[in-house]
Amino acid sequence: MSFIRSEEHKALVAGVEDLCARYDDDYWLARDKDGAFPHDFHRDLAQAGWLGIAMPEEYGGAGLGMTEAALMMHTISRSGAGFTGASAVHMNIFGLNPVVVFGNDEQRQRALPPLIAGDQKACFAVTEPDAGLDTTKLTTRAELKGDRYVVHGRKIWISTAQVADRMLLLARTTPLSEVSKPTQGLSLFYTDLDRSRVEVREIDKMGRKAVDSNMLFIDGLEIPVEDRIGEEGRGFEYILHGLNPERILIASEAVGLGHAAIAKATEYARDRVVFGRPIGQNQGIQHPLAQAWMQLEAADLMVQKAAALYDAGEPCGPYANSAKYLAAEAAFNACQTAVQTLGGMGYAREYHVERYLRESFIPRLAPVSPQLIMCFIAEKVLGLPKSY
């Protein structure tokens, strides 16, 4: 593993930076205020070929690895787009991993090219109000009737459902009481988001207003059998396959957000003069910023390690989870340090860092809590008894 970027990686970063430069701070501030999905940003990324960075070449993707995908998402977030820009395309990068790996060729041909081209948008419908992180307790049910499944249930915190055409849905096809293990009996579908059968209700939330989060109320949604991914009852296994890439990408976006905040804060510290000297000359300002930078860089090393292991086909669960944990904490510290550096101006929306701070809670809360990551490391790495 090299810590020196290759010429290809430098070109990747430069290309993404050039595109992101069209969308300045004022653009993202406006989206934070009006809540409009950044369709033009999504469209430009699609036209430039970035949405398929980790998708197979035979379906229109670039066929690159998680290392390159993480670098792209880091660059988007670091540009000032933060989690708003990253989340607008995040599903394209990792979300259909189960379709790529476990779907058949007909399903991949049907699903991947429109997503890569930006002609379709998808959402990831797994989490439920009463199950939380205990995915095996999902109650959304899919009952096979002839050549179709009929689905009833609820989902929560489903991003981009307001603008999505399709959804990756996990539902129980065999009741929990009829399986030998709770991980059995869940099936995965990639299907149309039929709004005549799915009510999409937006959740008014703290940050990232332009990328919607929603509750879904599913009542009699019909899904053709050909939209089921892989074998019936093995959906939980398929979803697990995509968790490590998701954690790696979330971590890379968090590091990018933290660096965006530090850039704003250091610029302000150089320019702001109080008592005849720039405030950045004071160690009380310098040291927290320096510490935040070091924490972000350390977290980024874990991101790179996790991505390299994933691309090499090696086990990476502990490192992907650690990257997510470390990056989320580092990003939060960087963002709150930026707000404190700017003082009163840090509380003003026009200086952007308060938006970064609000968004920095996203990787701390999702897609898995820091507490559960620590439980995972304690059990799987340290060999301690399972605590939950």
Q: Model confidence at 241, in pLDDT bands (50, 70, 90)?
A: confident
Q: Does domain 240-381 have CATH number 1.10.510.10?
A: no
Q: What residues does each domain of the chain span?
A: 7-117, 122-236, 240-381
Tokens 């959740």, located at residue = 203
Residue 78 in 3-state DSSP? Answer: helix
Residue 25 in 3-state DSSP? Answer: helix
The pLDDT tens digits of the residues spanning 281-333 come to 999 999 999 999 999 999 999 999 999 999 999 999 999 999 999 999 999 99
Give residue 244's pLDDT: 94
Q: Which DSSP letter does residue 216 get?
A: E
- The CATH number corresponding to 7-117 among 3.20.20.140, 1.10.540.10, 3.40.50.620, 1.10.10.60 equals 1.10.540.10
> Are 149 and 143 a contacting pair, CB within 8 Å?
yes
Mean pLDDT calculated for residue range 55-76: 96
Of all residues in the chain, the percent with pLDDT exceeding 70 is 100
CA-wise closest residue to 90 among 54, 135, 64, 48: 54
Which residues, in sequence order, are CB contacts of 83 under 8 Å at separation 6+? 77, 207, 208, 211, 253, 257, 359, 362, 363
Give residue 245's pLDDT: 94
Query: Per CATH, which fold does 122-236 belong to?
Result: Butyryl-CoA Dehydrogenase, subunit A; domain 2 (2.40.110)
Mean pLDDT (the chain) is: 97
Mean pLDDT calculated for residue range 376-384: 98
197 phi and psi, to 5 degrees? -120, -5
Give residue 285's pLDDT: 98
Give residue 132's pLDDT: 81
pLDDT of 1 above 80 = no
Q: Is the pTM of this model over 0.95?
A: yes
pLDDT of 95 above 90 = no
Give residue 388's pLDDT: 86
Give residue 94's pLDDT: 80
CA-wise closest residue to 292 among 324, 347, 329: 329
Distance of CA 259 to the CA centre of its chain: 17
